[in-house]
Chain A
C-alpha cells in the first residue's frame, strides 16, 4: 500500500539534484523522480542553479576543480533540508569526495560536513526516510537489475532496490548472474582504457542476455549508458531503464511501449 503523509505536517523542503548526466541525456529519469515523489506526497523543488557534483573531475585527479563544484553545490543546496539524488555515485560525492577536495579550505570543509548527511540517494530516500517499499508501481515486464559499484560499495544500498523492485505489480524480476561485478564504465576509465572497459562490458551484456530480461534496471544512468550502448551496438533490444522510471509507472501508464509484456500480467 501507498503510505500517504498525514496532512498539516509541514513538509521538509526537499530538493532534487537531478545530476548533469540526467539533466542533459536522461531527463526522463528526473521527470520520473518528480512524479514518483509527488505521488508519495513529497513536494520536490528543482533549484535551477545546479550543475554537476564534480565526480568526473575528482575521479580523474582534479581536486581544485572538484572544490569549486563542491562550493557551488553548497551554495545551491545549502538551504534545503534534504537533497534527493537519482544516482548512487553522484549521491556519494558530498560525503566521500568533498571532504578530500575541501582539504585546505576549512570553511568549505565545515559547510560540506554539515550538508553531506542531508544528501540522499533516491531508493534509500524511499525505503529509509519515507519508509515505503510498495510505491504503487506497475511494470508488467521481465526485469533484471545491475547493482552499480557505487550503490553496492560506496552508498551501500544493500537490498533496498530489490525490495522496491519486488513490490512492483506485474513485474517478472530475474537475478542477474555475476551481478556484483563492475560493468567496466568507471568514468574516464572507459576512455583511457577502452579495450579493458569493452571486455568487461561485453561480459556484463552477456550476463544480461542470459536472464532473458527485456529491461535492465540500475540506479546509475552512467552504467546503464555503458551497458545499453553495448547491447544496442550488438543489436539486442534489451532496454536500459533507471529504477526510478520503473517505480514511477502505474496501471494508468500501462506497459512500456515496444517492450514484451509478461504473460501472467495481462
Chain B
C-alpha cells in the first residue's frame, strides 16, 4: 500500500509531533545547513545574481499572463515532432490517462524519474490499483519508496533520513523488490550508493515504459527538459521504448533563450552546484534514438485556480529548487511531513492553499505555518514574495470565518484600540491589576502554548502614558 498525505492533521498538530522527534530534527538541521551554505557561496559567486532573479521572475510572469498561447504552441510542436499531447484537468484525469497509456503497452513494471507532480497526483497508488508496479529510480525517491515513506523535500525527498536509517531500509526492503542489498552493507555513503546502483540497474535495463516529469517545457520547439544529479533520469529517458512525461502547465518557458536564465539559477540555488550533472532535453521522438513513443500529459490540478488569485499567482513561478525550505527556520524544526503535502516549507505553505482552496482545515492552517521572518523571500530565484502571499491567504482565511473565537477577540481588541477612551481605560486596568499576576503560570486556552516554554514579562506599575501624564516626559 502506498502511503499518502490524505487525512493528514493540520499543521500545528503535525508539527508538534515532528518537533518532538530529536533524530528527525538533527537530520533536517544538518542537511538544510549544508545545502544552505553551499548555495550561499555559489549565489555570491555571480555578480549578476539579482539580475538573473529579476529576469526569471519576469519571464515566468510573461508566460503566466499568456499561458494558453504558450501551451498551444508547445502542443503543436510536440505533435509535429511525433509526440502525443494529453490534457488533464485534475489528478484523477491525469492518473487515468497515464494508467491507460501504460496498460496499452501491456507492461506491469515500469520505471520513474523523480517527479513531484506525480507525487502530488498520487500516480503510484493509481498505477498500483491497476496492477502496475512503478519503481522510482532517483536515489532519494528510491529510499522513500522502499521505506514506504513520504517525501519531505522537493529536491531531496529523503532529507529526513540519515545514512544508518537508509542502510536499514536497503537491507530490509531491496530483496522484496528486486536485487537485494549486498551482504554486510554498512552506512558508508559510497557503499549505499553502490547498493542502489546495482539494485536500480536491473530496473533500467528491463523497463519498456518510463514515466517522468519535467523541469521545463520550451514552447518554441516543444522541448522537455529534465535537470538531475544522478543519471537515472537520462537512463529512463533514453532506454525505455515508451516515455510518458507528466508536466504541470506552469513549467512552460517561451524560448531556449529564456531557458538559459533558469539553467543558470536552478542548480546553484537547489544543490549548490554551478551546473547540474545531467541536463536532458528531448523533443517528440527521433528515429533510431531513444523512446519510439512519447506522450506528454499536461496537468492543471488547481494551477488555473492559483492563476486566478492576483497575489497568489506568483507562486506559479516556482521552479522547485527547494531553497525556501532549506532556509526556513520553521521547516528546519519540523521537516517536510508536518505540511501534509509533497510541497512543504514556505512554497508548500502558499502553493497548497492556492491549488486546493482554503475549505479544508489542514490547508487553511498552512498560511499560519510561518513567523513571517522573510528569509525565504531573500533566497527565491524567481522572487516570490512569500510573506505577501502568506498575509493575503491569511486575510482570505479570516474573511472565510474559519476562526470565530479569534475574530471576536481581535475584533474586540481592535475596537478598543481604535477608541481613545476605551484604550486608555484598558491600559490603566492592565497596569493596576498586572503587577499582581504571577509570572510562572499556565495561561488558559489557546494562550497556554506561550507559557509552556516561557515566563510572562513582569507587568509594570505605571504605563508609559501614565508616566507621561504625570511628568509630561520630564526624565530629570
Q: Does A134 reach chain B (CB closer than 8 Å)? A: no
A51 touches B418 (CB 8 A): yes
* Across-interface contacts of A188 in B (CB, < 8 A): 368, 406
Chain A window 221-258, contacts with chain B (Cβ cutoff 8 Å), 1 for yes, 0 for no: 00001101110110000000000000000000000000
The distance from the CB of B89 to the nearest CB of chain A, in whole angstroms, is 30
Tell me the bound Cα distance from A191 to B431 in angstroms.
Answer: 23
Question: Contact mask A53-91 → B, CB, 8 Å, 1/0?
Answer: 010111111110110110110000000000000000000
Query: Looking at chain B's contact residues, is the secondary structure mostly helix, strand, loop, or mixed?
Result: helix
Is A196 in contact with chain B by the CB < 8 A criterion? Answer: yes
- Complex interface: stretch among B215-223, B236-244, B452-460: B452-460
Q: Is A18 an interface residue (CB 8 A)?
A: yes
Q: B333, B414, B457: which contacts A54 (Cβ < 8 A)?
A: B414
Choose, from B51-59, B77-85, B245-253, B464-472, the stretch at the interface.
B464-472
With contacts A34-B473, A60-B394, A200-B329 known, is A233 near B465, CB below 8 A?
no
Which candidate, B175-183, B276-284, B370-378, is the interface stretch facing chain A? B370-378
Of A35, A63, A154, A196, most B-chain CB atoms within 10 Å: A196
> Quick check: B464 and A18 within 8 Å, CB to CB?
yes
B374 x A61 contact (CB < 8 A) = no
A154→B374 contact, CB < 8 A: yes
Which of B423, B431, B440, B453 is packed against the most chain A CB atoms within 10 Å?
Answer: B453
From B330, B368, B375, B414, residue with most partner A Cβ within 10 Å: B414
A229 nearest CB neighbor, chain B only = B454
Quick check: B454 and A230 within 8 Å, CB to CB?
Answer: yes
Q: Does B104 contact A (CB under 8 A)?
A: no
Asked if residues A25 and B459 are in contact (CB atoms below 8 Å), the reply is yes
CA–CA, A190 and B12, complex, Å: 11
A16-65 residues with Cβ-Cβ distance < 8 A to B are 18, 20, 22-28, 30-31, 34-35, 38, 44, 46, 48-49, 51-52, 54, 56-63, 65
Question: Could you say which of A46, A56, A152, A180 contacts B473, with CB atoms under 8 Å apart?
Answer: A46
Whether B410 and A24, one on each chain, are in contact in the complex, defined by CB atoms closer than 8 angstroms, is no
Assembly CA distance A149 to B398 (angstroms)? 24
Residues of chain A within 8 A of B394, CB atoms compared: 59-61
Residue from the list B372, B392, B475 in contact with A38, Cβ < 8 A: B475
- Within the complex, the shortest CB–CB distance from A248 to chain B, in Å, comes to 8
Per a CB cutoff under 8 Å, which of A35, A61, A63, A195 touches B475?
A35
In the bound assembly, the distance between CA atoms of A31 and B474 in angstroms comes to 9
Which residues from A are CB-within-8-Å of B423? 20, 51-52
Q: Which residues of chain B have C-beta atoms less than 8 A from A266's C-beta?
A: none
Q: Is A174 an interface residue (CB 8 A)?
A: no
Chain A nearest CB from B193 CB (Å) reads 32
Which residues does chain A contribute within 8 Å of B12, judged by CB atoms?
Answer: 192-193, 195
In the bound complex, residues from chain A placing their C-beta under 8 Å from that of B459 are 24-25
Let me know if A191 and B446 touch, CB within 8 A.
Answer: yes
Residues of B participating in the A interface, judged by any CB pair closer than 8 Å: 11-12, 15-16, 19-20, 25, 329-330, 333-334, 367-375, 377-378, 391-399, 406-407, 410-411, 413-418, 420, 423-424, 427, 430-431, 434, 439-440, 446-450, 452-457, 459-460, 462-469, 473, 475
For this complex, 25 residue pairs linking A to B, each with C-beta atoms less than 8 Å apart, are: A23-B465, A28-B460, A30-B467, A34-B473, A35-B475, A46-B465, A48-B468, A48-B469, A51-B416, A54-B414, A60-B394, A62-B414, A63-B395, A69-B417, A149-B374, A153-B378, A181-B375, A189-B370, A189-B371, A195-B19, A197-B371, A198-B452, A198-B454, A200-B330, A200-B371
The list of the 3 closest CB pairs from A to B, nearest first, reads A194-B449, A186-B371, A229-B454
